[in-house]
Amino acid sequence: MRQQSAAAVNAMLSQETEEVFLSCLRIEHHELPESLCFVNSRENLTHNGEQYFAFPFRIDLPDDDAESMPEISLTIDNVDRQIVETLREISSPPTVSHFVVMASAPDQIEAGPFDMALREADYNSTTVTGKLVWEDFLNQKYPAHDYAPANFPGLF
């Protein structure tokens, strides 16, 4: 768990504050020439030397259900067709990283990064929606490799 800065804790516990918490989104894929970086704000943001463009999006957290892997709903306004074109070009799900910073200290991450895969993307004339899922590590094989002569000849 990430520790929040003293300024962030103070802002969260104050009755009133001048601090603004900004939600940032980074979409990456090995087939993309560069990542798509957005901040849910009216002004662009520079985070660790990288430009995050002001762009409206919404993240809806899942219900607390112990029976299934959580899925997060992502909705991005489709005002710029670049997102739809990017989703059409890539052949596998992109990685989406979500984190929160304060406007007064944009290089310090206060929550996250939460790295997920974008699944079931859909779009219309106004929005792009998708499901963000974590890697299903509970159903992965353990140990990852079979200890057989073909894989580990020095053991036999």
CA 49 – CA 51 distance, rounded (Å): 7
For 55-75, the DSSP string reads: --EEEEPPP--TTS--EEEEE
CA 129 – CA 119 distance, rounded (Å): 10
- Does residue 38 sit within a domain? yes
- Does residue 11 sit within a domain? no
pLDDT of residue 10 exceeding 80, the answer is yes
**126: pLDDT confidence band, cut at 50, 70 and 90?**
confident
- Does residue 66 sit within a domain? yes
pLDDT of residue 29 exceeding 60, the answer is yes
- Give the pLDDT confidence score for residue 137 in this predicted structure: 60
- Does residue 56 sit within a domain? yes
In the chain, the number of structural domains is 1
Residue 128, domain extent: 20-155
- Does residue 4 sit within a domain? no
**Quick check: helix, strand or coil at residue 139?**
helix
